[in-house]
Structure 1
Amino acid sequence: MSFTVRIAEPHDLDQIARLSDRVFRSKRTTHMAEEFPHLYSPHNARHWFVAEDGGQIRSIIGAMVWPAVIAGARTRVASVGSVATDPDYRGQGLASRLLYLAQSQLAAEAVRLMLISGDLPLYLKFGARSIGRVDWYALPRNLAVAGRYSIRPIDPQDDAAIVARLYQTRSTRFGRTLAQLRAMLVAQPITQVERGVKVALLVLSDGVPVSYLILNHRPFQGVGASRLSEWAGDPKGVLHALTQVSDWPEQGIRIPVLREDLAMQGTLYPLKPDRRGPVSWLVKVIDGVGLASDLAPIGTEQAAQPPRVLLTAPDTYAVEFNGQRWVVNAAELTEWVFSEETAYRPVPLEAIWPLPSLWPEGLNYI
């Protein structure tokens, strides 16, 4: 059996959608292409990668390419998901071949990072790693929040510009255009039809919008804990809005707080997190040279010269800093730049790395 791996064409999307539904929606009435309209759009066909045999697509990987801002520096990332292989054709290395094809194509488009949904051994073998740190808090229903706030649902059309302005206050974020954000807000309730409800709220103080939030409410078959999946602006306003949820879930509301979210940490004090872990996606640096160039403004704030990264072989890099040189593979470089937990990052680099993590939940993968 001879498989061809290639970049998809728009005419492949029907087969791609059917295979996606067979793998991910076999027990549901919803369809992947309806839930993620931008991912399955003909305009995004070149970011699908397929393995076919005799004209039949048997394995797929999809991606959305985003500009992104990390600690104020601009770069490009790809959110990768919908990794699926026909059950009758698994175990033949098709997904692995597609991951490397995706890496090659995305790097050619100046994408620096692949963010991969899930933590399968397949992705770890590919060189993706867990990064960042998230502290999870259980929100007390009776939490008292000082301030005069009012709350209303977000109108996808009228409020998109307000949400965009608030989102811009985050120093690490995806680079959404206003049109993309408006389309995401319109589409986002669809994504949880059978897994719960996404609630999008705008918070105002004396009539002025100060924050917004996306709450993934009762996300697992309508039961279980709800969780805050995205927010920006005044953290006190966000917490006030959450305490006003009338249909309080039996297992409460969970709040993820990234290391750099100092304002939210301070607002939650003296509460303590009850769980800590990496962000929910794996990450792989696929263009370390370009990433180092993009992030150079961050390095110059901390040192006379930022780290220099050179490609010495496929997925192998030399890192030069302060007269020292280290050779690492892509997985190690990913951990050096972004991981909170790595024990072997050289001490001199601790002055610059790790960098903040992009938060992959909320509206970003639609």
Structure 2
Amino acid sequence: MDIRKVLPHELQEAADLSDYVFRQPDQQTMGKIFPCLFSPGISHSYAAFTAEGKMVSFMGMVPEIIRIGEARLYTFSLGSVCTHPDYRGRNLASRLLEECKQHAKRSGASLVFISGSRSLYTRSECRHFGRVESAAINQAAAAAIRSQAGGGWTVRNMVPEDTFAVSSLLSAAHVGYEQGPSQLLALLGAGAIPDIYRLDLQALVGIKDGKIQAFAVGAVHGEDRSTAASSEPSRAVEWAGDVQGCALLLAEMLGRFPAEQLIIPVPWQETELLGILKVSGADLTAGTNSGTVWLASVPALLSQCAPLLPGQTFRSNEESDHACYMTTTEGQEIKLDDAGLLSLLFDPESPDKPLLPEKFATIPLPYLSNLHFV
């Protein structure tokens, strides 16, 4: 079996294999909902091929830069992992995962975010990470949010002429993906999360004082589906801009496209939005971020996070790419493995956080099942 990088002309075959494994009759082709994986161009993905050249297993990789204040994390998103049923049980996915890991390291990436959490990943040092509160709002909570927002807001569907204004809101966020208007439009057109849940994508903007100040995308029970294919609750996918305005737009999603609930996965750092949702009566459930993460390189991660790290709290182990040292509040230096470093950097409830100096601030990450999900 030949394990290698997918060539541009083989991307359609990869999309066809993904469709064969995953796609249901009422869903769009994977080639459409994941344009960053399957559209023509240079590929970072890997596949297994038979001696005759037939693709029988695939693992998709998309390079992304995550912006956190002044820091830029070079990452990969990994998804659409599939093997033809006739070729399962041959360890192909594990071999592909190892190739993808090595590709990430050669590329200078610090982290690989994986869309799954099954044993294929967890036994290969991929770990749960971060902290997210999933808020479930019903119609009563949505009404309370609308009441809190007060007057002065106009809510309408996003139109093409809003592209630059919406892109500016996303770019101004402290935490988010580096992207331009063209990528934003491509991801909105693809609607991966809505299609996965058999829901429809809706994008709303909130206008106040004559300009767009809030933006939100939801996966909702709309009119585009010919049948009630999904019993899933509606879901918030992405938002940016004025926090009160974003909360209003999410409440409007539930009002305009009725469902019993709207699920809003809120990263821990968005305290103002969490406060609004709590006051509204939303039910909150604590959990980790979406999927799992693999730490590709400790030195790369510490270097890319340097603007967010105080002094010499962490330093790389020159003898290992997967270990580092941390200086505690008492000036002692202790050795950390990957799990310990990921916990201390990204989990505000890390059990070892008391060991860190008071000036250290947990590093926020976006929720990963958003417009960029693969």
Q: Is the TM value for this pair above 0.5?
A: yes
4+ residue runs of structure 1 moved beyond 6 angstroms? none
Preserved contact between residue 319 and residue 325 of structure 1 (Cα < 8 Å): yes
> Aligned pairs, how many?
358
1:293 maps to amino acid: S
Whether the aligned pair in 1 keeps the contact of 2:194 and 2:219 (CA below 8 Å) is no
User: SS at 1:142's partner residue?
Assistant: helix
RMSD across aligned positions (CA)? 2.6
Q: Among 365, 369, 372, which residue is 1:357 paired with?
A: 365
Q: Distance in 1 between matches of 2:299 and 2:354?
A: 19
1:221: how far off? Answer: 2.8
C-alpha separation in 1, matches of 2:197 and 2:252: 24
Tell me the SS of whatever aligns to 2:61: strand
Match of 1:262 in 2: 271
Secondary structure of the equivalent of 2:60? strand
Post-superposition shift, 1:238?
2.1
Tell me, in whole angstroms, the C-alpha distance in 2 between the residues paired with 1:359 and 1:308.
27
> How many Å separate the matches in 1 of 2:339 and 2:229?
36
The answer to whether 1:135 aligns with 2:133 is: yes
Q: Distance in 1 between matches of 2:357 and 2:100?
A: 30
Task: Tell me the distance in 1 between the aligned counterparts of 2:61 and 2:18.
Answer: 13
Determine if contact 1:160/1:178 at 8 Å carries over to the other structure: yes
Q: What is the alpha-carbon distance in structure 1 between the residues aligned to residue 87 and residue 135 of structure 2?
A: 42
For the Cα contact (< 8 Å) 2:45–2:61, is it kept in 1? yes
Identity of aligned residues (%): 29
Structure 1, unaligned runs of 5 or more:
none
Q: In the alignment, does 2:48 pair up with 1:51?
A: yes
Q: Does 1:119 align with 2:117?
A: yes
1:169 Cα deviation after fit = 2.6
Q: TM-score, normalised by structure 1?
A: 0.89
Aligned partners of 1:283 and 1:334 also within 8 Å? no
C-alpha distance in 2, partners of 1:202/1:93? 47
In 2: Cα distance, 1:25 partner to 1:62 partner:
16
Q: What SS does the aligned partner of 2:248 have? A: helix
- Distance of aligned partners of 1:60 and 1:332 in 2 relative to their CA distance in 1, 3 Å threshold: farther
SS at match of 2:345: helix
What 5-or-longer segments of structure 2 have no aligned partner? 223-227
Q: 1:130, 1:349 → 2: CA distance?
A: 24
Mapping 1:243-262, distance limit 5 Å: 243-245=251-253, 246-262=255-271
Tell me how far 1:97 sits from its aligned partner.
1.4
Q: TM-score, normalised by structure 2?
A: 0.87
CA shift at 1:364, angstroms? 1.3
The residue aligned with 2:225 is: none
Kept in 2: contact 1:129–1:335 (CA 8 A)? no
Answer yes or no: is 1:180 the counterpart of 2:183: yes
Q: Which moved more, 1:262-271 or 1:219-228?
A: 219-228
1:108 is the counterpart of 2:106? yes
Q: 306, 311, 316: which one pairs with 1:296?
A: 306
Q: 2:42 and 2:263 mapped to 1: Cα distance?
A: 33
Structure 1 CA distance for aligned equivalents of residues 72 and 261 of structure 2: 37
3-state DSSP class of the match of 2:123?
helix
Q: Within the alignment, does 1:275 sit opposite 2:285 as a pair?
A: yes
Higher mean Cα deviation, 237-246 or 127-136? 237-246
Q: Give the Å deviation of 1:29.
A: 5.1
Give distance in 2, aligned partners of 1:365 and 1:64.
10
Task: Give yes or no for contact 1:223–1:249 (8 Å, CA) kept in 2.
Answer: no
Once the 2 structures are TM-superposed, how far is the Cα of residue 189 of structure 1 from its aligned partner? Answer: 8.0
Q: Distance in 1 between matches of 2:361 and 2:250?
A: 33
Task: Measure, in 1, the Cα distance between the counterparts of 2:235 and 2:47.
Answer: 34
Are 2:210 and 1:207 equivalent residues in the alignment? yes
Note the alpha carbon deviations across 1:97-133, whole angstroms, 9 max, x for none: 1112111112211211111002111111111111121
Q: What's 1:158 paired with?
A: 161
Query: 1:42-96 CA deviation, whole Å, 9 max, x = no partner?
Result: 2142x11111221122211101111111244112111110111112222222111
Q: Is the 8 A contact 1:288 1:311 kept in 2?
A: no
Q: Please give the secondary structure, in 1, of the residue aligned with 2:12.
A: helix
What is the aligned counterpart of 1:321 among 327, 331, 338? 327
